[in-house]
Amino acid sequence: MTRATGRPLILGNWKMHGTGSDLAEVERVDAAVQELGVEAGLMLPATLIERAARRARAVAIGGQDCHAAAGGAHTGGVSAAMLRESGATMVLAGHSETRAGDASSVAAKAHAAQAAGLAVVICVGEWERSADARALVAAQLRASLPPGLDWSRAAIAYEPVWCIGGSAVPDAAHLARIFEMLRAEAGEARLLYGGAVDGGNAAELLALPGIDGLLVGRASRSAADFVPVLEAAAGV
């Protein structure tokens, strides 16, 4: 997952959406990824991963979260090894909608993911607009990194929570400050932006210094909305 490919990484997060009838969207996205030659993944509900992985040829299939433990009395939990066995190749850790407790739990999930052979996308971001966002996100990131993290199989996604589900993104100056800090902390890992991303702003975001890819929410659930984001990546 390093920057060595020179291509943007585009990830779509379906969140708690999608049933078997929506697997046709995975196939349409997969066809677009093949045609455009872009690097992309879909982070799907656990119930769809195995079926989607059987259909996908070019788009990577990932999970949205995993438990830090390999197994045990964790009702409703899904381990990283379970995701891997189902066909996932990557997983999110610390998305704002699953981040509970302190950042050490995110670090534990990231460690479990890599131990199971998954690439991991560690999510960070401030909850509210703040002049101290850079310092807040830096502290959150440092606490979310497990010892011995393999940066070649990791990416960082900056998702300001106050943008998620909305239509506005932070201004370029704000993003420049955040991504400058992330680059200093994360070496050669891919740095993604997430929050109100769609086909209308993808090209502009990808043109900003330091942004190596995008984490797309609602615009990733249908090929009609997601393909324009992939096309923007193909044009970079």
Amino acid found at 27: E
Q: How many other C-beta atoms can be found within 10 angstroms of the C-beta atom of residue 61?
A: 25
Distance of alpha carbon 38 from alpha carbon 225, whole angstroms: 16
Distance in Å from the first CA to the final CA of the chain: 18
- What pLDDT is stored for residue 164 in this prediction? 82
161-206 pLDDT, tens digit per residue, is 888 877 789 999 999 999 999 999 998 899 999 999 999 999 999 9
- What pLDDT is stored for residue 4 in this prediction? 59
Which tokens in the block code for residue 86?
Answer: 């189902």
Distance of alpha carbon 45 from alpha carbon 137, whole angstroms: 27
Fold of 65-88+97-165: TIM Barrel (3.20.20)
Token pair 């302190």 is at which residue?
A: 102
Amino acid found at 132: D
95 labelled catalytic? yes
Catalytic pick from 25, 39, 126, 159? Answer: 159
The residue among 56, 58, 84 whose CA lies nearest residue 70 is 84
Which tokens in the block code for residue 180?
Answer: 């400058």
Catalytic pick from 39, 95, 111, 126? Answer: 95
Per-domain boundaries in the chain: 23-62, 65-88+97-165
pLDDT under 50: residue ranges of the chain: none
Tell if the pTM clears 0.85, that is, is over it.
Answer: yes
Q: What are phi and psi of 119, to 5 degrees?
A: -75, 150
159 labelled catalytic? yes
Distance of alpha carbon 5 from alpha carbon 9, whole angstroms: 10
